[in-house]
Amino acid sequence: MKTIFEGDQLRIDVLNGYVFMSHLGAIGTGVSTPEMRRACIAFLEYSETEGLLPCPVCGGKELQYSISLDDDGDTYHGVICLKCGITGPQMCVKHSAMRAWNLLPRNQEVNL
């Protein structure tokens, strides 16, 4: 069992590919939006980034998903390169963000 997030109200564990979400707060109380958001981010950071091409700018392979939330509560998904910091196109769903990242123009000669 690996704990990928532990906050005041919520804990997320992963075991053999299954995700377990535990509510740590008192029964009947909700999980606050900021904590839910942090939990989502932790989960996405944990999620595999397999299937993503290296960074189009620096060729970096250390990539991370990001989710941002606007004032209307809409979420935007994107891919960030941890080496040079560029962010791919922001999309409404994760697989679109992955696809948009992979479609960015790349220089074939980038050394990986």
Binding site for Zn ion (CB under 5 A): 55, 57-58, 60, 81, 83-84
Question: What is the smallest separation between the CB atom of 46 and Zn ion, expressed in angstroms?
Answer: 21
Question: What is the smallest separation between the CB atom of 26 and Zn ion, expressed in angstroms?
Answer: 44
The residues, any chain, with a CB within 8 Å of residue 46's CB and separated by 6 or more, are 4, 14
Report how far residue 74's alpha carbon sits from residue 61's, in angstroms, rounded to the nearest whole number. Answer: 28
Report how far residue 21's alpha carbon sits from residue 7's, in angstroms, rounded to the nearest whole number. Answer: 11
- Complex with Zn ion: residue 37 or 61, whichever CB lies closer: 61
Which two three-digit tokens encode residue 104? 């960015």
Question: What is the smallest separation between the CB atom of 59 and Zn ion, expressed in angstroms?
Answer: 7
- Complex with Zn ion: residue 99 or 106, whichever CB lies closer: 106
Overall residue count recorded for the chain in this entry: 112
- Complex with Zn ion: residue 25 or 54, whichever CB lies closer: 54
Q: Note the Cα 24 to chain centre separation in Å.
A: 23
Question: What is the smallest separation between the CB atom of 22 and Zn ion, expressed in angstroms?
Answer: 36
- Complex with Zn ion: residue 58 or 92, whichever CB lies closer: 58
